[in-house]
Amino acid sequence: MDWAAIALAAKRANAAYETTPDKSKAAFTALGDDWVDLYSTDSMQAALSVDSTGATWLSISGTRASDGYVIDVFRDVSLEPTKVKGGTVTAGALAGMDDLWAWALDTVPDANPIFVSGHSLGHARACLSPLYLAPKRIGRIFGFEGPKFVGADFFQAYAASFANAIFTVQGADAWAAWPWLDWRWQARPPVDHIWLKDNGSFAIIPASQWPGGLKFGDHDIGLVCQRLEAIAAASVKPAA
């Protein structure tokens, strides 16, 4: 695990919540990225940036409920199954994605791979990247605390695109366990997950082994960033 890279991807997912171009640019610049642009509608937000290696990142925000974007909340509860190429996803997660990717692909040079990061609803939307990018153009997908908005059939159809993806859950996060009782939506990406535990430890577990829970306070990208940064710092061996 490249913990420093994972922690930085989480910080990008956090920075994606900034709702104005000036604040967005400042947040990504503070991470060492060159900020490119902010895409923002009533129901979706994402930022493009380029990191110090020249890699392009699309960072997708989660629900912006605290900023008054009520339509974002409706996307979280819009669970109607929608057929897409390769499988099934919720209507709420899919809504607006065509326009977002049209913007991104119009901005990013054709030859460039795109790394995608997102938190919560943004995590679910990051998982839809294979609909818009050929496998060779997906740099890597990073998802943090995502609800179960993507069907098992979709993950199976695009298994190659998720083979090197990194997904993180935290504690007994109630919103990452959402929807709780709708059995149409119980799949998580079928790769090992990082489980950040409330006692400060962590484990690498198969997705099916995360127990879920109903702790709403664990749904916190800021806390995810802190915990991953601590793991990254602890994993760096001192120079001889």
Per-residue pLDDT of 68-102, as tens digits, reads 444 444 455 678 999 999 999 999 899 999 999 99
* Rounded Cα gap, residues 175 and 153, in angstroms: 22
Mean pLDDT over 32-41 rounds to 96
Distances (CA, A) of 17 to 23, 25, 159: 10, 12, 29
Sign of torsion over alpha carbons 89, 91, 96, 98: positive
Higher pLDDT, 75 or 172: 172
Q: Domain segments of the chain: what residues?
A: 3-235
Q: What is the pLDDT of residue 73?
A: 47
Burial class (CB in 10 A: 0-12, 13-18, 19+), 101: buried
Token digits of residue 46: 């994402």
The percent of residues above 70 in pLDDT, for the chain, comes to 92
Q: What is the pLDDT of residue 74?
A: 42
- pLDDT tens digits for range 22-36: 999 999 999 999 999
- Above 80 in pLDDT, residue 159? yes
Mean pLDDT over 7-15 rounds to 98
- pLDDT tens digits for range 106-138: 999 888 899 999 999 999 999 999 999 998 999
State which amino acid sits at residue 176.
A
* Rounded Cα gap, residues 108 and 95, in angstroms: 22
Q: pLDDT category, 11, cuts 50, 70, 90?
A: very high
- Above 50 in pLDDT, residue 165? yes
Do residues 167 and 188 make contact, with C-beta atoms less than 8 angstroms apart? yes
Decide if domain 3-235 falls under CATH 3.40.50.1820: yes
* Rounded Cα gap, residues 183 and 152, in angstroms: 12
